[in-house]
Amino acid sequence: MQWTKVLGLGLGAAAFLGLGIILGHFAIPKKANSPAPSISAPQDLDLEILETVMGQLDAHRIRENLRELSREPHLASSPRDEDLVQLLLQRWKDPESGLDSAEAFTYEVLLSFPSQEQPNVVDIVGPTGDIIHSCHRTEENVTGEQGGPDVIQPYAAYAPSGTPQGLLVYANHGTEDDFKELQTQGIKLEGTIALTRYGGVGRGDKAVNAAKHGVAGVLVYTDPADINDGLSSPSETFPNSWYLPPSGVERGSYYKYFGDPLTPYLPAIPSSFRLDLANVSGFPPIPTQPIGFQDARDLLCNLNGTLAPATWQGALGCHYRLGPGFRPDGNFSADSQVNVSVYNRLELRNSSNVLGIIHGAVEPDRYVLYGNHRDSWVHGAVDPSSGTAVLLELSRVLGTLLKKGTWRPRRSIVFASWGAEEFGLIGSTEFTEEFFNKLQERTVAYINVDIAVFANATLRVQGTPPVQSVVFSATKEIRSPGPGDLSIYDNWIRYFNRSSPAYGLVPSLGSLGAGSDYAPFIHFLGISSMDIAYTYDRSKTSARIYPTYHTAFDTFDYVDKFLDPGFSSHQAVARTAGSIILRLSDSFFLPLKVSDYSETLRSFLQAAQQDLGALLEQHSISLGPLVTAVEKFEAEAAALGQRISTLQKGSPDPLQVRMLNDQLMLLERSFLNPRAFPEERYYSHVLWATRTGSVATFPGLSNACSRARDTASGSEAWAEVQRQLSIVVTALEGAAATLRPVADL
């Protein structure tokens, strides 16, 4: 304990008397036995503590965490997943380095698994009904880790079972346009099996689009052109490089929404109402199975029919044709069919989130929430264990300071290890459903580190504008891994940047979709969120994602040898996240810069004006109210920034700061409208909902315009454009109102 500082606090009380006289006019104290003034106010971000934390985040320990976490496959709800729940609880309850408390929260959720007794198979069936060729059922056991009983067979989670059989066609990415192209080419799709490749559209969408054309079954593979920079031979792939081996198959959830499929908007506790399976929407409509490119080559390079368009060609070493059926001069007789037998089963399983908390010393009811999922498809060294390894190192370093009595944050810090993310962000979504109000009222921000390291070139951050400045502050102070003496910030700006009207050239943050557990926090709860990772040099690879993603080749050695030898990128992510956590939890004034939303709104507005203005005018719809609303937001955000600056120069009262901080924390909430997008699930943030329209503006407006474009004035579709415009205007005006001085009418 530091006595000198306690004394300093006593002296501060003198200044406090003087101020009291000035303010007495408004706040005349009433009683002798009035409650004492705040004792806990002065705590602010401590740069020494910050430096200590930065120094203690240890690359070697992250590596050891990763080794342990990825030692065995730990599919959601598997015994090993349960073991890791215990590991997390043990770490977070450790008397030397643990948190204040930790607890597992279990939900009963609907997962989908392939049958163990009856594996999914993809066969070529000759005209007599004989199986003349079979695709691999498992990935090749290249490192001894691909063969165990816990390595789940590649499958498309939530695809229905069924055994469709038909002529094969090639459908590129399986987008709506791709199937239209096949139709245009005169190819009869009814009853066929469509071979598609990953990319271009969501997993489940391929089957949805296919089924509309009568396709009976769907195969999905990863083309070496998309993932391996064209390389495909075993000598060029893992374990000889980071590239995907020919037998590698990307697993994944093919469910359209997120959250437990049976309990939308309700937590999946045992007693909760569950939808009848017949009423569940969002599962693929037809049997679907993923395969490796080795198998895809056998199928695709033997296809008959027209040559596929140039953009449909890939790197399998042959000319891709469209089908239907095999060519007479190929490996299979021309009238052979493909049989896709899927025996997936839906099962109610227990899946747990683990939560740990460090109680805030001053404002324990303000939560800085940091999380990652725990479940993997197989060993999941990269996805998600690289993030979990960082999570554990962060909690260890902060926990140790805590247990030593060196430090306790101003606000509470909550660590989360989510369950069943791979099946559709299930653990995090159920958590937001169960604690909706508590979280919405109190959460300062959500920080997600799922895959910590995709590659070791640069930081990449997705997030909403209020978090930009704290990310910048943090990354300017941390040295970038790799050669040179750049900060993470200075390295980052070389890879991702944009010209900001306010700041000039700055690193560019991506926007948050629904790729990881931040989705329910930003879209459903309206909590300012971010996702942090180290990633590629795009000049060096065009891989869609790290090549062994969701395969049995995503192992510790893969990370250790190829992705991040030395774990310095992991360390960089840990330091970045750690600095952000400390800044959010310890700063007297919340480092959320709401005025950074102004640039987003202005750019959305400009896109609307430039790309939709003329069209809207034709239909007598004015953007005037939107212009006014954006201007009002800009002015109020700037004025609030001014008031904060002024206050920071003085000795503000902690309640005053709390009130300002509430304005900053709650701004993101004012963009939520649960009635804006009735056809969407959870999406209620009017700035970040899914945008399907082509114009990079407010999503509701963009989408409504793209639907209305070809309809007449006065149509329902144009009414929806006007409604969406009013929803945005109301949200922006409402947001601006929350930024005004709190006693203004």
Q: 739 near 659, Cβ under 8 Å?
A: no
263 vs 294, beta carbon nearer a copy of itself? 263
362 binds a copy of itself (CB under 8 A): yes
Using CB under 8 A, pick the residue from 128, 271, 499, 539 that binds a copy of itself. Answer: 271
508 vs 730, beta carbon nearer a copy of itself? 730
722 binds a copy of itself (CB under 8 A): yes
* Contact string 400-439 vs a copy of itself (x = CB under 8 A): -----x-xx-x-x-x------------------xxxxxx-
Using CB under 8 A, pick the residue from 44, 83, 130, 176 that binds a copy of itself. Answer: 44
d(CA 624, CA 252): 45
The count of residues interacting with a copy of itself (CB under 8 A) is: 113
What's the first-to-final CA gap in the chain, in angstroms?
Answer: 46
Sign of CA dihedral 556, 558, 563, 565: positive
Give how far Cα 120 sits from Cα of 123, 192, 534, 549, 637, Å: 10, 18, 36, 21, 56
CB of 612 to a copy of itself, least distance (A): 16
29 binds a copy of itself (CB under 8 A): yes
- DSSP letters along 63-92, please? HHHHHHHTSS---TTSHHHHHHHHHHHHHH
The span of 204-212, 307-315, 447-455, 731-739 binding a copy of itself (CB under 8 A) equals 731-739
User: Looking only at residues 437 through 466 of this chain, which bind a copy of itself when binding is defined by CB under 8 A?
Assistant: 437-438, 441-442
Q: 607 near 705, Cβ under 8 Å?
A: no
280 binds a copy of itself (CB under 8 A): no
Active-site residue (options: 421, 433, 599, 634): 421
138 binds a copy of itself (CB under 8 A): no
d(CA 187, CA 692): 28
459 vs 608, beta carbon nearer a copy of itself? 608
User: Looking only at residues 544 through 583 of this chain, which bind a copy of itself when binding is defined by CB under 8 A?
Assistant: none
Using CB under 8 A, pick the residue from 610, 622, 646, 692 that binds a copy of itself. Answer: 622
Using CB under 8 A, pick the residue from 17, 310, 614, 712 that binds a copy of itself. Answer: 17
Give me the amino acid identity at 649. Answer: K
- Does the annotation count 421 as an active-site position? yes
* Contact string 90-129 vs a copy of itself (x = CB under 8 A): ----------xxxx--------------------------
712 binds a copy of itself (CB under 8 A): no
74 vs 408, beta carbon nearer a copy of itself? 408
3-state secondary structure of 254: coil
CB of 42 to a copy of itself, least distance (A): 3
CB of 85 to a copy of itself, least distance (A): 14
The span of 61-69, 316-324, 533-541, 653-661 binding a copy of itself (CB under 8 A) equals 653-661
278 binds a copy of itself (CB under 8 A): no
360 binds a copy of itself (CB under 8 A): yes
Q: For the chain, what is the largest distance between any 2 Cα atoms, rounded to a whole number of angstroms?
A: 100
265 binds a copy of itself (CB under 8 A): yes
Using CB under 8 A, pick the residue from 34, 184, 499, 618 that binds a copy of itself. Answer: 34
d(CA 657, CA 411): 13
Q: For residue 100, what is the enclosing H or E element?
A: none
Output the six-digit token pair for 322: 């469209």
Using CB under 8 A, pick the residue from 119, 282, 566, 625 that binds a copy of itself. Answer: 625
Using CB under 8 A, pick the residue from 68, 94, 175, 266 that binds a copy of itself. Answer: 266
365 binds a copy of itself (CB under 8 A): yes
495 binds a copy of itself (CB under 8 A): no
d(CA 332, CA 148): 32
2 binds a copy of itself (CB under 8 A): yes
- DSSP letters along 275-317, please? --GGG---S-SS-EEEE-HHHHHHHHTTB-BSBPPGGG--SSS
742 binds a copy of itself (CB under 8 A): yes
310 vs 745, beta carbon nearer a copy of itself? 745
Instruction: Report strand pairing: 252-253 vs 529-535.
Output: unpaired
Give how far Cα 554 sits from Cα of 323, 550, 557, Å: 34, 7, 8
719 binds a copy of itself (CB under 8 A): yes
8 binds a copy of itself (CB under 8 A): yes
134 binds a copy of itself (CB under 8 A): no
The span of 244-252, 292-300, 354-362, 450-458 binding a copy of itself (CB under 8 A) equals 354-362
496 binds a copy of itself (CB under 8 A): no
36 binds a copy of itself (CB under 8 A): yes
Output the six-digit token pair for 618: 């034709």
590 binds a copy of itself (CB under 8 A): no
User: Looking only at residues 224 through 243 of this chain, which bind a copy of itself when binding is defined by CB under 8 A?
Assistant: none
361 binds a copy of itself (CB under 8 A): yes
Q: 423 near 417, Cβ under 8 Å?
A: no
Cα torsion through 267, 272, 278, 284, rounded to 10: 20
Phi, psi at 237, each rounded to 5°? -120, 175
Number of residues that this document lists for the chain: 745
Output the six-digit token pair for 306: 């027209």
The span of 26-34, 149-157, 306-314, 610-618 binding a copy of itself (CB under 8 A) equals 26-34
Q: Which residues pair with 131 in a beta bridge?
A: 125
624 binds a copy of itself (CB under 8 A): yes
Q: For residue 532, what is the enclosing H or E element?
A: strand 529-535
Q: Give the burial string for 681-709 (b: 16+ CB within 10 Å, else e).
A: bbbbbbbbbebebebebbbbbbbbbbbbe
Give how far Cα 124 sits from Cα of 48, 326, 329, 542, 629, Å: 66, 10, 16, 32, 61
Using CB under 8 A, pick the residue from 674, 694, 711, 713 that binds a copy of itself. Answer: 674
279 vs 311, beta carbon nearer a copy of itself? 279
d(CA 732, CA 687): 10
Q: Kindly list the catalytic residues.
A: 421
